[in-house]
Structure 1
């Protein structure tokens, strides 16, 4: 696999078609457009539909309509992740062959029960920057023959990055260049805070972490502009970029649009979509004002 050579500034807006776009997405899309224009760069649109169970053609069509309403243009063709599963699998196979990932078999319910039992005994369980418990090391300690037997049985599983072994592959500290609304300058990256992250699972052939770094490299993206909720995830992305010999973009993590309670807007909670605001008579200029542009 080879990345597209960098010739100019390349930005991308990469929504998932699993719900209607809301004001938070509008801020991100508009910032990408503004920054690309200011640098005489290019703006790409990527449809991150790797979650085959939640993403729908109807939501994808809504993304195109909302962006056109906002006056945002993008280069064609659009990259759709569901059309590039073989590329993600090839990179995963590379990591498997290098012994940097392992199959994990615990369900979400089993993880919750394991952590609850441990904490009931007075032992605090480590959590990642998003507050989720780190994965127990039971599967990591399995022998090769045990793993082969479980895989052959057809038991559902995920492939997780062996964080300790992956960190041993590094010959220099990790960092990234940040220009956003939080920390700026050269930011130290510590992916160990995330534990053994998932790179692939039975119901999603590639994780967000794996697919996003591959897509950015293959599309020649030079500037990643996204919300501050993904700031800490960049540490994992930097590690994968090193492991897979991929280029490093400049990152710009922008402020989040929040509701009246201070929570970031969410598709899962049904926060008002852009199409609904349009139907209520809001204009594209109104949206720019609502997101503070």
Structure 2
């Protein structure tokens, strides 16, 4: 007998929760902010909006379904099942945070604060989450598949991301490596490498693209190709700056041969869940076989 569907509601602690945890009480948190010209009412209002959205999502989960909640900080320890429907309640970045841990489960993005969040990846209102979940299970939902990027080390470590992966030194010192795509390669000393998807091309990747006034066309969110940029490459007798951006097509990859004592690779801004790379190791960046299945 197949398992009943399970609604997995993913959220992130609010700024108000963090403030009270740090300062002990509401009053102490309020005093701390007031000394800096801030009003705690603002973070309280956003906390209330998240609470209201969570309550609305919970009310919409069918009574016969199983259900659970998981905070963003616990995602790397949570075990998702094939029967899960993921409901991400929060900012667009929360969908990227959860996507790397999924294996094809559908995602319903819920926007608790449309006045703050663009809602590109969280287009649904809390009141519509229940209908969206039922549509996913019934096969009646319109699913948009978004390309993901993966990084694989030569000793079998793997990491996936929806937006981008960053390869560089953990303390932002110079990263030394040899970068290769196809038959072209160059040795670099830089601030690291960004490689990502069309979804990520609206964020960190775009900032690198704009800063260098690149003429490289950025992919759209559903495109299968990836793009990559080297950050602040340094010219020297041993390192170059001629090959610092490019496109990774479907059958291609970007290979990084490490020439530093330690580099790391993390995805979508989650630094605590990173691959650790040592001198002589190789990291291959390519399009992932997995895709985010986003209910639109």
Tell me the TM-score normalised to structure 2 length: 0.25
The structure carrying a bigger helix percent of its residues is: 1
Structure with the larger RCO, 1 or 2 (CA within 8 Å, 6+ apart): 1
Tell me the TM-score normalised to structure 1 length: 0.25
Of structures 1 and 2, the larger Rg is shown by: 2
